[in-house]
Structure 1
Amino acid sequence: MKVVKLEDVIGTEQEVKGENWTSRRLLLKKDGMGYSVHDTIIKAGTETHIWYQNHLEAVYCIEGEGEVETVKDGKVWPIKANEIYALDEHDEHLLRAKTDMRMVCVFNPPITGKETHDENGVYPLVDDE
């Protein structure tokens, strides 16, 4: 069994910061679970272009308010605390935070922890072997 405390991840290489977000990566590929789990903060007033071409992601909002817009059809979904959205078709999307948002994100396949978004909002597949 494994227990990971958020406080033990903050300030380590498993806390990764982007312009609009901070991702605290709790479980990674190396943990052998078949998925990764992240505690992510999205900064208020930001818009982030994301397109996980290589990963599926489920996102559970535990704090804050914002919206997700799917690029292919322009559909907008309001998101607030206690709601989950699933990017089950590798959906290219825009995430807009009205307030600071705290999200629990689950990725399949799991990320290694080395990934950051490229110019298209994509996490590349990284082999950490």
Structure 2
Amino acid sequence: MKNSDQEETILEAKASMTQEQLKTHTMLLLTEIVLKQFVENIMLNIEIIPVDEKQNVVVSLQASEFLSETTLLKDSYNLLKEIQNVEEINDITLKWFMPVKNKNTEILTITFDDEALVDFDEISYKDIPHASTHYIKHEPLD
């Protein structure tokens, strides 16, 4: 098969997917990306919400108690660099958690909508707080 024939076959297969199949496909792609980026098992959960032909995705990640905001921004950047290529994603939210006083606490929340993801190649990790559509640094990270 030629490349264009393969691409057309893939597009036809995606078009015939049910919402549940699309959700599973996206979940598998994201799991593969996270596992490729990190040696340790840091993914807590993936939540997928269908929106028309695309999906809003929330990925909850576990950080160690000794990570800084800079380290989390670098880790998020590396993940988002790969995730931006997943066509099925509308919005992506990364939620970072870490142990605070023996309780797993959300410490950083970053959201990029599909428009911000398109421009992602033009930013560095330092730009994430301003380039994201939603950025919350929670108190324990201060």
| TM-score range for the pair, normalised by the shorter chain length | 0.3 to 0.5
More strand by share: 1
Which entry has the higher C-alpha Rg, 1 or 2?
2
- Bigger relative contact order, structure 1 or 2 (CA pairs below 8 A, ≥6 apart): 1
- What TM-score do you get using the length of structure 1 for normalisation? 0.32
The structure with the greater share of residues assigned to helix is 2
Query: TM-score w.r.t. structure 2 length?
Result: 0.31
